[in-house]
Amino acid sequence: MSEEFQARRAEGRRLADRLRSDAAEAGQPLAWFDAFYRAAKGDRAMIPWGHGEPRADLREWLARQSADQKKGQALDVGCGLGDNAALLAASGFEVTAFDISQEAVNWAAGRFGDLDITWRSADLMALPSEWQGAFGFVNETYTLQSLREPFRSEALKALAGCVAAGGRLFILGRGRHDDEPENPPPWPLLVSELAGLKASGLEEESFEDFMVTRNGRDVRHFRAVYHKLG
C-alpha cells in the first residue's frame, strides 16, 4: 500500500465513522452505507473493506470444497465491491449478489460486468420473498458485524431463511466470546448468537475460532458453516 493509498484509507475510515454515527443519531442506522459509497466517488482506497480481492479465509475454505459443493444457486450477502461474488461465480456457482447500497451494487457490477452474476440492491431486513429457501449456498462475510441489535437477530433469521433444504450457510467475521469486551464498531459476532441459528433449523457443520493480526493487534475471528437439514 502506497503512502497516498494509506492516507485515503484513513480518510475513508474517518468518513465511515462520521456517517455511521450521524445515521444512528438520526434514528436510521442502516442509511449510512449508501451515502458512504457515494461519497467515496469510485475510489476503492476510501472503502476500509475494499481489498481488491476476495476474502482469503473464504477462498481458502472454498478451495477445499468438492466441485459438487460449488454448483447451484449461491447468494452473496452485503456484496460490497463484489470480489467475493466474483470468486463464487469463478468457483462454479450461479450467483446472486446483493447489498443495501445501490451505489455499491453499481460499482461491483461495473467491476465484474464480464461475469454472469445477478446484482441486486436489497436490504437483509426485507428480502424478496422468492429468496426464501432458494440458495444451496449463502455467503455472509463481514456484514453481520456491521449491524447491531435489533437488526442483528433479524439478519441472522433472514440468512437462515434463504438457505435451501440441504444447503449451507457460511459465516466469516470478527468474533467475541460472551465474556469478552465488545470494543465496537464493528460489533463482533457472539458465540451465543451463532448458536441460536439452531432454532432456525441450521446444524453446525464446523466452527473455527482464530486470530488475525490487524495493525499489529490480534483480532478474534470466527469462520462457521451451518447445514440446513433436507
User: Which chain residues interact with ligand SAM by CB under 6 A?
Assistant: 30, 33, 49, 55, 78, 80, 84, 99-101, 104, 123-125, 141-143, 146-147
Q: How many CB atoms lie within 10 A of CB 199?
A: 10
The nearest distance, CB 180 to ligand SAM, in angstroms, is 20
Minimum CB distance to ligand SAM, residue 74 (Å): 13
For residues 127 and 202, which CB has a smaller minimum distance to ligand SAM in the complex?
A: 127
> Judged by CB, which is closer to ligand SAM: 153, or 203?
153
Closer to ligand SAM by CB, 73 or 84: give it.
84
| Residue nearer to ligand SAM on the CB measure, 87 or 202 | 87
Q: Residue 178: CB partners within 8 Å, gap ≥ 6?
A: 190, 191, 192
Select 38 or 71, whichever has its Cβ closest to ligand SAM.
Answer: 38
DSSP three-state, residue 94: strand
When CB distances to ligand SAM are compared, the closest residue is: 78
Kindly state the smallest distance separating residue 83's Cβ from ligand SAM, in Å: 7
Amino acid in position 24: A
| Least distance between ligand SAM and beta carbon 229 (Å) | 26
Report, in Å, the least distance between residue 21 CB and ligand SAM.
Answer: 16
Mention every residue, 6+ apart, whose C-beta is less than 8 A from residue 33: 99, 100, 101, 104, 146
Is 15 within 8 Å of 48 (Cβ atoms)? no
Q: How far apart are the first and last CA of the chain?
A: 46
- Tell me the closest approach of the beta carbon of residue 159 to ligand SAM, in angstroms: 10
Beta strand 202-214 with 217-228 is antiparallel
Dist. CA 50–CA 52, nearest whole Å? 6
Give 174 or 228: the residue with its C-beta nearer to ligand SAM. Answer: 174
Using CA atoms, how far apart are residues 221 and 188, in angstroms rounded to an integer? 8
Give yes or no for a contact between 138 and 165, defined as CB atoms under 8 angstroms apart. Answer: no
